[in-house]
Amino acid sequence: MESPASPQAQYQQPQRQRRRVASFLRETVSRARSPRIPFRVGQVLIGDDPFNGRHLGTVSVIDAPYVGLRTAGSAARDVTFYDYRQLRYPD
């Protein structure tokens, strides 16, 4: 004769499922709210910002909604960040 599952085990199973569903929904909503950046690492872009000025550079970092450009002639660690809406392809 099997002993019935403990009440605590019966309580933990639905709670675990609720946490899993909540985690899935949280990740899905956060992905949906974050903007889709139309650029990829390695592309050459022009960043035009009234504070940083206009720079031609290569995309090195994407951290939505910001994109980091590494410009020619700067040190490898020098990255200028722009809002992705301030970037465009060179003519």
Give a yes or no: residue 30 inside a domain: no
pLDDT in tens, 6-39: 666 566 678 888 899 888 888 888 777 767 888 9
Give a yes or no: residue 27 inside a domain: no
Total domains present in the chain: 1
For the full predicted model, state whether its pTM sits above 0.85: no
Q: How far is C-alpha 13 from the geometric centre of its chain's CA atoms?
A: 32
Sign of the four-CA dihedral 53, 57, 37, 25: negative
Which burial class, exposed, middle or buried, applies to 82 when counting CB atoms under 10 A from its CB (0-12, 13-18, 19+)?
Answer: buried
The CATH number for 61's domain is 2.30.30
Give a yes or no: residue 59 inside a domain: yes
Give a yes or no: residue 18 inside a domain: no
Which range of residues forms the domain containing residue 79?
Answer: 44-88
Give a yes or no: residue 67 inside a domain: yes
pLDDT in tens, 38-74: 899 999 999 988 887 888 999 999 888 889 999 888 7
Q: Return the residue matching tokens 């990255």.
A: 79
Classified as helix, coil or strand, 44 is: strand
What are residue 46's DSSP bridge partners? 56, 88
Give a yes or no: residue 8 inside a domain: no
Give a yes or no: residue 75 inside a domain: yes
Q: Are 57 and 72 in contact (CB under 8 A)?
A: yes
